[in-house]
Amino acid sequence: MSLPQTIAAAKKSLDAGEVSAVELTKQALAQTGKWEQKIHAFVEVLEEEVLAQAKESDKRRKQGRVGVLEGIPIAVKDNICTTEGHTRAASKMLENFRSPYDATVVTKLKKEGAVIIGKANCDEFAMGASTEYSAYGPTKNPWDTSRVPGGSSGGSAAAVASGEVLAALGTDTGGSSRHPASFCGVVGMRPTYGRVSRFGAIAYGSSLDQICPITRTVEDAALMLSVMAGQDRRDATTSSTPVEAYHESLSTNMKGVRIGVPKEFFGEGIDPAVATIIHQALKTFEEQGAVLQEISLPLTPLGVPVYYLLAKAEGSTNLARYDSLRFGKQELAAASLIDRYKEARGQGFGPEVKRTILMGTYALSAGYADAWYKQAAKVRTLIRREYEAAFKEVDIIAGPTTIETAFKIGSKTGDPLQMYLTDALVVLQPLAGIPAISVPAGFVNNLPVGLQLAAPHFEEQRLFAAAHTYEQQHNFWQKFPEFTAAN
């Protein structure tokens, strides 16, 4: 029996007794063993631990204690704390770090019976858009292993796309779940800021970070978020807004729903083939009774500079704790404390993390903070207000997730600006604090293209309903990359 394609299908098989959690886990491990030699989606596969978890899951099922995700194999991004295995954030600085506690979302998933297969690869400290900046080697796109899977949650997206796992946890600071979801042809969903606890997620940009589900279908993403969301006393930014059972009311009635299409999303820089796919996708909504309405979001071009100023500033501050006194290599030859810092951070951090420290420290330094950081913060407020105004006119905002399909490995690492520009359409929603989702919308030269939908704050249900409606009209979620010697 092959691994089911979705969480929903796996739950039916488990509930019917057609497969046990141990058997399901072994199937996932077999798929992982096959694909890992090609794509390197994991930095650590927890084979012994996950089989033990699966056995416990089967015991609970026999006792009648069945969680919402009972026996479902998932991957966890390497910057999210788990007591199983290591939590390295794909960095040499945390090479030997084992977390003494689980992140809140991991605790919630375990409580509902999920089993953790391993830690998914990512850009170091989640700082990147291609998963090439991992200290443990790049992840490759299962659709074409000469190309990137997107980032920074590239390992999570590649693991779901290749069928290694049924779902994965990623993080999204400036598109880091939706970007790889688009490149790998899966669903990546960023909740409203404050909808999901960040406790146990290694911080990058604290005012932007969110933990996200990456799945094969919208229904699965809705189910995952139903479990993950909620207020947490250990994260003061979490909201008391009630959590809905998102997966239980996925309406497909789009009649009269107003969908705003920003003209700026189809401007200079977008691949014409990607634009064509998205325009075709938007017609699906019209056919279902929705009303398409062109809108303007004039501040769109400022998204990348504003995001990278704020994220790098917050990132450089968060990185200050990694001094090798508490984390990192301890056997250093440095004669003084400052030399120890230089040696430890010089050896422990990769190029993008060092770039973050330099850019962020500069933006926050005396004489420059007013001109750069504070100015960016003011523009961020204007971007948020621009979206709030747009949502008074429309219910959903739609467009491409990325401006292009997956690019060749190594093609942008020499030009950081070109790498940053790949995030042009996914940094805006984190700046506004709103929920967004990327769903598969087609292919260009056998490379996936993602359709991105965004909704007002805490309107995840509206977002899931629209995305599910689109998904039901197509079979893109049923397409898997072929495992061949060529790819």
User: Which domains are present in the chain?
Assistant: 7-256+437-478 (3.90.1300.10)
Q: Active-site residue 411, yes or no?
A: no
CA distance 481 to 141: 9
Pick the catalytic residue from 77, 110, 119, 140. Answer: 77
Nearest to 459 by CA among 233, 304, 239: 239
Report which residue type is found at 83: T
Write the pLDDT tens digit of every residue in 359-409: 999 999 998 999 999 999 999 999 999 999 999 999 999 999 999 999 999
Q: Active-site residue 130, yes or no?
A: no
Nearest to 81 by CA among 69, 94, 68, 67: 94
Those residues with Cβ within 8 angstroms of residue 293's Cβ, 6 or more apart along the chain or in another chain: 258, 259, 260, 261, 393, 394
Nearest to 421 by CA among 111, 74, 129, 193: 129
Those residues with Cβ within 8 angstroms of residue 265's Cβ, 6 or more apart along the chain or in another chain: 297, 300, 399, 400, 425
Whole-model pTM? 0.97
Pick the catalytic residue from 152, 156, 162, 182. Answer: 152
DSSP SS3 for 181: helix
pLDDT given at position 329: 65
Q: Active-site residue 226, yes or no?
A: no
Nearest to 241 by CA among 435, 431, 438: 435
CA distance 360 to 152: 19
pLDDT given at position 486: 58
Q: Residue 288 to residues 197, 234, 258, 305, 325: CA-CA distances in angstroms?
A: 35, 43, 12, 37, 59
Pick the catalytic residue from 20, 176, 226, 316. Answer: 176
Q: Please report how many Cα atoms fall inside a 13 Å half-sphere around the Cα of residue 46, on the Cβ side.
A: 24
pLDDT given at position 1: 47
Using 70 as the pLDDT threshold, list the residues of the chain that sit under it. 1-2, 328-330, 332, 485-487
